[in-house]
Structure 1
Amino acid sequence: MAAYLPLSLAILVSLLAAAAASDHGDYSHPNSGGEKKLVVQVEGMVYAQSCAHRNSWCLDGATPLPGAKVTVTCRDRKNRVMAWRSVKADGNGYYLADLGDGPPAAAYYKGDPTKACFVRLLSSPDRKCDDLTNINYGIQGAPIRDEGKGSPADGYALYAAGPLAFRPRHCAPRRHY
């Protein structure tokens, strides 16, 4: 079986290289219609959920989680990953992912970055609060929304995701027997 590994790895690498080369033709330059490239940024907050609301979507009493990492993923019109960024929250739990100078809006899945991009929790720097929660779909992929900051027609758009949270691993029992 070990003899097949280098051959299968070489085939996989060549297939990925060919796919990447063919994909760049779709987006690297504005099309003949003159569509502008779209600079996409996604912002949001990451919190540490309080023990009082563990196993719920409630963020009452939650505190910002500095240094938490999230990933922002966007899909192309064929539903393939076309952009991906991992970012770290600042000291206030705020993150801003800049996906850079991307393709025109029409190249995104269903022609709309709000349908093509999502945010997922990646890691927490706090070992006491590093269990993932699915608050606002932080595990499945939190949808982004248009906040009216910038416009695809202007070639720039800032989107936002709902607040995401990690929860404590261990909490004191709520009932005493």
Structure 2
Amino acid sequence: MAAFLPFAILVSLLAAGATADNGYTTPTTPPPQQSDKLLVRVEGLVLCQSCAHRNSWRLDDAAPLPGAKVTVTCRDGKNRVMAWRAATADGSGYFLAEFGVTAVTDFFTGDPRKACFVRLLASPDFKCNLLTNVNSGLEGAPLRDEDKRWPGQGYDNVVYAAGPLAFRPATCVPSHHY
């Protein structure tokens, strides 16, 4: 009978609702309600690639390219262009393009990350104006979801990111003297 005493105590404690965490429980929060409409914003950086890394995807020592232009294109459910925006980089090379409130189902595959892409358009700097395909700036840079989402009034605000994208100098001084 003495062998069953600890088991009896355990059973009675469990029946009373005792837990190993001294009765403390972690509050559970419901997952955020996702709307069927989105206000999509796309952000990124445009840089001037250094001569030391031309013909590569490296952006070490790259400088912001103020005034650079990019286009953001989104496709609809039938894979046709449904909207596009041109965006201009600010003094730090940052750009932001905003689309109006759109039903999620209007985007190709119902996902703006798969329906939209960013391409380099133009550089205001004649010393750094050759397009590169760094992060697919020529082909169309895909969007990344960086968990920037908050509710609006009947829609969700979402900010996706692309890039960084880069132009490269038209001419570079040779690094070797022969």
2:55 is paired with a residue of what secondary structure? coil
Query: Which residue is equivalent to 1:138?
Result: 137
> CA offset at residue 38 of structure 1?
1.5
AA partner of residue 140 (structure 1): E
- Residue 41 of structure 2 aligns to which amino acid in structure 1? Q
Q: Distance in 2 between matches of 1:91 and 1:125?
A: 12
Letter in 1 for 2:67: G
Once the two structures are superposed, residues 32-56 of structure 1 have per-residue CA deviations (whole angstroms, 9 ceiling, x without a partner) of xxx7432100000000000000000
Q: Which stretches in structure 2 are left out of the alignment for 5+ residues? A: 1-34
- Paired residue for 1:167? 168
1:156 alignment counterpart: 157
Describe the SS at the equivalent of 2:37: coil
Q: What does residue range 13-162 of structure 1 map to in structure 2 within 5 Å?
A: 36-102=36-102, 104-150=103-149, 154-162=155-163
Distance 1:120 1:174 in 2: 30
Residue 99 (structure 1) shift: 1.1
Three-state SS of the structure 1 residue aligned to 2:74 is: strand
Secondary structure (helix, strand or coil) at the match of 1:110 reads helix
The one-letter amino acid of 2:98's match is D
2-side partners of 1:100 and 1:111: how far apart? 16
In the alignment of these two chains, the number of paired residues is 142
TM normalised by structure 1 equals 0.76
How many angstroms apart in 2 are the aligned matches of 1:174 and 1:54?
12
Residue 151 of structure 1 and its aligned partner are, at CA, apart by 5.7
Larger Rg: 2
Q: C-alpha separation between the residues in 2 aligned to 1:36 and 1:159?
A: 17
Q: 1:175: how far off?
A: 3.0
TM-score by length of 2: 0.76
The two structures, once aligned, show a CA RMSD in angstroms of 1.6
Inter-partner Cα distance in structure 1 for 2:150 and 2:109: 17
Aligned to 1:16: none
1 or 2, which has the higher helix percentage? 1
Gaps of 5+ in 1: 1-34
Q: Percent identity?
A: 64
Partner Cα separation in structure 2 for residue 120 and residue 151 of structure 1: 26
Q: Cα distance, 1:107 vs. partner?
A: 1.5
State how far apart, in whole Å, the 1-side matches of 2:98 and 2:118 are. Answer: 13
